[in-house]
Amino acid sequence: MSTADTATLSPLQRFRERINQIKQYEEILGVVYWDMRTGAPRKGIELRSEAVGALSSESFKLSTSDEMGELLAKLNEPELQAELSEIDRRLVAETSKEYERNRKIPPELYREYVVLTSQAESAWEEAKENNDFAGFVPYLEKIIAINRQFIELWGVKTTPYDTLLDMYEPGLTTVELDRLFGELRARLVPLAEQIANSSNKPNTSFLEGTFDKEAQKKFSKLILKDMGYDFEAGRLDESVHPFATGLSIGDVRITTRYLPDDITSALFGTIHEGGHALYEQNINPELARTTLSTGTSMGIHESQSRLWENIVGRSLGFWTRYLPDLKEHFPGQLDGVTAEEFYRGINVVQPSLIRIEADELTYNLHIMIRYEIEKMLFNENLNPRDLPEVWNKKYSEALGITPDNDSEGVLQDVHWSGGAFGYFPSYSLGNMYGAQMMDVARRKLPHLDDQIAAGQLLPLKEWLTEQVYQYGKLLQPAEIIERISGKPLQSSYLCDYLENKYREIYRL
Amino acid sequence: MSTADTATLSPLQRFRERINQIKQYEEILGVVYWDMRTGAPRKGIELRSEAVGALSSESFKLSTSDEMGELLAKLNEPELQAELSEIDRRLVAETSKEYERNRKIPPELYREYVVLTSQAESAWEEAKENNDFAGFVPYLEKIIAINRQFIELWGVKTTPYDTLLDMYEPGLTTVELDRLFGELRARLVPLAEQIANSSNKPNTSFLEGTFDKEAQKKFSKLILKDMGYDFEAGRLDESVHPFATGLSIGDVRITTRYLPDDITSALFGTIHEGGHALYEQNINPELARTTLSTGTSMGIHESQSRLWENIVGRSLGFWTRYLPDLKEHFPGQLDGVTAEEFYRGINVVQPSLIRIEADELTYNLHIMIRYEIEKMLFNENLNPRDLPEVWNKKYSEALGITPDNDSEGVLQDVHWSGGAFGYFPSYSLGNMYGAQMMDVARRKLPHLDDQIAAGQLLPLKEWLTEQVYQYGKLLQPAEIIERISGKPLQSSYLCDYLENKYREIYRL
């Protein structure tokens, strides 16, 4: 749009035009990132990373331009504010916050960071494959150094790490997290110990074997369809590290990974990413062409993936309905297994090294370890070179096991290669949000458990659309949970849920 | 890059920086187009088209900016010209030409056109599927109308259609094409008649049957590897309409389509696109980050796809080597067929309705029909609504057959939905360029035919890299062919080649 044209537009129209542009850049970059993770050829990565850096910079420039500053100043004036719609008011507030934050970052530093993290992901993949932490540590050092610069520029909130947390969960602090994680620890560690001492171990032998990939794919698609995932507004692909990405409301993609010797990995991975995708597919179309058409926080996002994966997907009712289907997909492989046996088998609690393979209970311990390490990196200047040692010590203390090598230790997660420090707590927040939401859902939808046990997953999806999905970023995370349950986020719902579930499974 | 930084750079450095940016936009847009054609979800197309339009506009603005004008003016001054490297000189010349052309297009018109053609491709797909020309004609009318505006703005060269031709084959005119096509017609139509009257029809019965898709894919990959296609700098996917796209030298992708009842479609389609890809993968890396790192014209590009597909891929020597491999991929399906029988079978000449399924000989007649129709559209104001009637009449006259419906008639090609008027002649130019190049190659590489018959395809690839691929856009099409053969493009090589080939096959 040329200057001549914009002169005739109102500040609000010009603002919406710029927001639309920023959203378009995000969408295009989303396609390119998806492509890089689903099979873009190796020899093109270097130039592609440069191009991604350049495009991100353009988008960054738009969001930090003097023009944007002037438009926001105008739209924040009380007179104009009063005339704004709810959507526009929230859009102005959200954009103002981003503007304040981004204006403090020199564009060249931002670009350097984008190129760096884009290359670091490939470097991390290679390092993980070759168990070569030393090869990855130079990237990690640079990423951490730039994040430190960002924190300096943004201003430290109580502690440096608080500044990062706020990016993923607006308003969340280390004080609050320390409290929530403390409460979880107080109830979940004893529970895990009781389980470890229980003599009622579930049988998991039927989960061993080789499971045909095409059949795994078919079954995953069947579940996604029943969840209400719209294949005309998305697609399912394969990638080494499963993810979901909302490019637009009409294009929300998920990936999964099929392991021939593990039927549960792709299955629960797909339901997890499917939960993320339901969120992004069901945002109110009125928010399209704005930066509000995405999830409101990583914690709320993870609440949806983990609610569908665990509270729904690992429930007895769910498998009462779907085990016969699963058996049909793998003839002869699960003969004689009952729904109850299957349910117990997929819910076995077992301290393990890999977060994404962890059970619902010990999963939170994996998250706490990462949270503590991230705090050490940013608040206590832990040297990145010492990460393997710290990592292994913490696993030994919290879970009683130590990785044999860094690939199954400190190198296991993609997050740090992308600079996502402060993201990990979202997973446990998601578990807590999810349990709190489901507590309400069960009361509002009195037949919910029967519906799930009948494969009727749409009533839950519709309720969540009404309560969460439709709003996108229009409501803050705290508003979402308060509106649903009348209370702020609490740890007790997750603890109650896990205690009830595992006491029953382990006959405690 | 901020203004402060650019102030310290020389005009050449600033120019190269801008060119790099334009190239980066092209690369990113290339990823998005590839994605749209290989399975992007339907419900995301509308917003994606808008985003593509916006991004194309940004790139267009860069290439038509006042700054670019000033830089080009400076770099075209004799003093600075003298200091430029060969690459920079050509880059300045090419960019100046583009600049002159693009400056004449109002940015808003350009954006409208990008969004329109992006949507028109989906509309065309639907129209073709439903045999609904009426549903597609409004798009076609708009696309033609805007092309007329472009021609007006650029200035008519002899005829309006000449202006379009020059886009795809710089310097080519209707006068020249009328002559070349006249020569082809004079020798190929009698040849086709002789063939029609021949009693030595090749046996094609062994080409019927059902051919496993996975085996087709495996065999296609085997041939691509032997041709020297680098799978670390590309990938092979499926799409309704096969294509090749060079996103960067390190990322050149091809697609194909596997038909269960036709073994030849995916096979020759893949070799065809593989020929395009070899061109783009083997451009001199010094041209990376410039707009010269692509094929020099569509005619030269098609010479490579059609040379590999036909002159190599449909030769007797090739099948002497590869038929045993093919038989291994389809056990029991081609038993007893000799290389000579297979060769004759895949070279049967048969007037047909669908261009991309046409034999090497009648293919050129399909092109001439499209060329005549495009001239009528732009030079004689043919009403787009009358296209089906004109199309069917011309097919009846030139090939003696008439389509039953528009899906296998005027709706068969994607080109017009993208506004690519003037592209079709490239295919026959490619046939002519290719035959002329191969005439020289056979003299320079005296063992070439033996090598092909031994599956040694790399010497030809290397010779073509040296003669054609490495230069990208550094040389003009006329320079390429003159350097190779010491002569301008001629029709006689193609005619000689086809006469020799088919006289032998049909024992004329």
Separation CA B489–CA B469 (nearest Å): 18
Q: Which residues contact B380 (CB under 8 A, 6 or more apart)?
A: none
Tokens for B324? 């045993």
Task: Provide the residue type at B120 as one letter.
Answer: A
For A314-336, the pLDDT digits (tens) are 999 999 999 999 999 999 999 99
Range(s) within chain B of domains with CATH label 1.10.1370.30: 174-202+297-456+465-505
* Other CB atoms within 10 A of residue B261 CB: 10
Q: Does B231 touch chain A (CB under 8 A)?
A: yes
Q: A329 with A61: CB under 8 angstroms?
A: no
How much is the average pLDDT of B203-210?
96
Q: What is the nearest CA distance from B51 to chain A, expressed in angstroms?
A: 5
Q: Does B39 touch chain A (CB under 8 A)?
A: yes
Enter the DSSP assignment of A104: T
The confidence score (pLDDT) of residue A2 equals: 39
Among A residues 84-113, those touching chain B with beta carbons less than 8 Å apart? 107-108
Q: A64 with A107: CB under 8 angstroms?
A: yes
What is the pTM for the complete model shown? 0.94
The confidence score (pLDDT) of residue B6 equals: 54
* Cα A275–chain centre separation: 10
Mutate to test the interface with A, among B2, B28, B118 (most CBs of A within 10 A): B28
Give chain A positions within 8 Å (CB) of B24: 50-51, 54-55
For A101-130, the pLDDT digits (tens) are 999 999 999 989 998 998 898 899 999 999
Mean pLDDT of chain A: 96
Give chain A positions within 8 Å (CB) of B32: 28, 31-32
Q: What is the nearest CA distance from A399 to chain B, expressed in angstroms?
A: 41
> Strand, coil or helix: what is B252?
strand
Q: Does A199 touch chain B (CB under 8 A)?
A: no
Task: Please state, for a pLDDT cut of 90, what percent of chain B lies above it.
Answer: 96
The confidence score (pLDDT) of residue A241 equals: 86
Task: Provide the residue type at B136 as one letter.
Answer: F
Separation CA B133–CA A407 (nearest Å): 58
Q: Which of B43, B52, B235 sits opposite A251 (nearest CB)?
A: B43
Mutate to test the interface with A, among B23, B32, B251, B252 (most CBs of A within 10 A): B251
Q: B266 with B281: CB under 8 angstroms?
A: no
**CA torsion, ordered B333, B339, B345, B349, to nearest 10 deg:** 160
The confidence score (pLDDT) of residue A173 equals: 96
Tokens for B200? 């030595």
ipTM over 0.95: no
Q: What is the nearest CA distance from A44 to chain B, expressed in angstroms?
A: 4
Higher-confidence position of A122 and A205? A205
Give chain B positions within 8 Å (CB) of A289: 47
Separation CA B162–CA B171 (nearest Å): 9
Contact across the interface for A235 and B27, Cβ inside 8 Å:
no
Q: Does B27 touch chain A (CB under 8 A)?
A: yes
Nearest chain A alpha carbon to B52: A28
Separation CA A177–CA A109 (nearest Å): 30
pLDDT at B259 over 90: yes
Q: Which residues contact A318 (CB under 8 A, 6 or more apart)?
A: A312, A452, A453
Contact across the interface for B24 and A51, Cβ inside 8 Å:
yes
How much is the average pLDDT of A200-222?
97
Q: Which of A25, A51, A232 sits opposite B41 (nearest CB)?
A: A232
Q: A24 with B55: CB under 8 angstroms?
A: yes
Q: Which of B44, B249, B251 sits opposite A250 (nearest CB)?
A: B44
For B251, phi then psi, to 5°, come to -150, 85
The confidence score (pLDDT) of residue B2 equals: 40
DSSP β-ladder status, A251-256 and B244-248: unpaired
The confidence score (pLDDT) of residue A5 equals: 53
For B4-33, the pLDDT digits (tens) are 455 689 999 999 999 999 999 999 999 999
Nearest chain B alpha carbon to A249: B44
The confidence score (pLDDT) of residue A259 equals: 96
Q: What is the nearest CA distance from B103 to chain A, expressed in angstroms?
A: 14
Give chain B positions within 8 Å (CB) of A234: 41
pLDDT at A1 over 50: no
Task: Provide the residue type at A348 as one letter.
Answer: V
pLDDT at A4 over 60: no
Contact across the interface for A47 and B21, Cβ inside 8 Å:
no
DSSP β-ladder status, B251-256 and B236-238: parallel
**CA torsion, ordered B430, B273, B270, B208, to nearest 10 deg:** -40
Separation CA A164–CA A172 (nearest Å): 10
The confidence score (pLDDT) of residue B7 equals: 63
> Strand, coil or helix: what is B245?
strand
Q: Which of B2, B108, B288 sits opposite A47 (nearest CB)?
A: B288
Q: Does B235 touch chain A (CB under 8 A)?
A: yes
> Strand, coil or helix: what is B184?
helix
Give the helix, strand, coil percentages of chain A, each rounded to 5: 70, 5, 30
Mutate to test the interface with A, among B8, B17, B27 (most CBs of A within 10 A): B27
Please report which confidence band the pLDDT of residue B144 belongs to, taking 50, 70 and 90 as the band edges.
Answer: very high
For B92, phi then psi, to 5°, come to -65, -45
The confidence score (pLDDT) of residue B3 equals: 42
Separation CA A83–CA B117 (nearest Å): 38
For A158-194, the pLDDT digits (tens) are 999 999 999 999 999 999 999 999 999 999 999 999 9
DSSP β-ladder status, B244-248 and B236-238: unpaired
Q: Does A479 touch chain B (CB under 8 A)?
A: no
Q: Which CATH number fits domain B174-202+297-456+465-505: 3.40.50.300, 2.40.10.340, 1.10.1370.30, 1.10.3720.10?
A: 1.10.1370.30
The confidence score (pLDDT) of residue A344 equals: 98
Q: Does B62 touch chain A (CB under 8 A)?
A: no
Nearest chain B alpha carbon to A43: B250
Long-range contacts of A219-226 (CB under 8 A, 24+ apart): A219/A267, A219/A325, A219/A326, A219/A329, A220/A256, A220/A266, A220/A267, A220/A270, A222/A325, A223/A267, A223/A270, A223/A271, A223/A274, A223/A313, A223/A322, A224/A254, A224/A270, A224/A271, A224/A274, A226/A455, A226/A457
Task: Please state, for a pLDDT cut of 90, what percent of chain A lies above it.
Answer: 96
How much is the average pLDDT of B316-339?
97
Q: What is the nearest CA distance from A447 to chain B, expressed in angstroms?
A: 33
Give chain A positions within 8 Å (CB) of B35: 31, 34-35
Among B residues 262-301, those touching chain A with beta carbons less than 8 Å apart? 288-289
* Cα B168–chain centre separation: 10
Q: Which of B27, B34, B47 sits opposite A51 (nearest CB)?
A: B27
Q: A144 with A388: CB under 8 angstroms?
A: no
Please report which confidence band the pLDDT of residue B249 belongs to, taking 50, 70 and 90 as the band edges.
Answer: very high
Contact across the interface for B51 and A28, Cβ inside 8 Å:
yes
Q: Does A44 touch chain B (CB under 8 A)?
A: yes
Distance from the first to the final alpha carbon of chain B: 67
Q: Which of B44, B50, B247 sits opposite A233 (nearest CB)?
A: B44
Please report which confidence band the pLDDT of residue A7 belongs to, taking 50, 70 and 90 as the band edges.
Answer: low
Burial of A275 (0-12, 13-18, 19+ CB in 10 A): buried
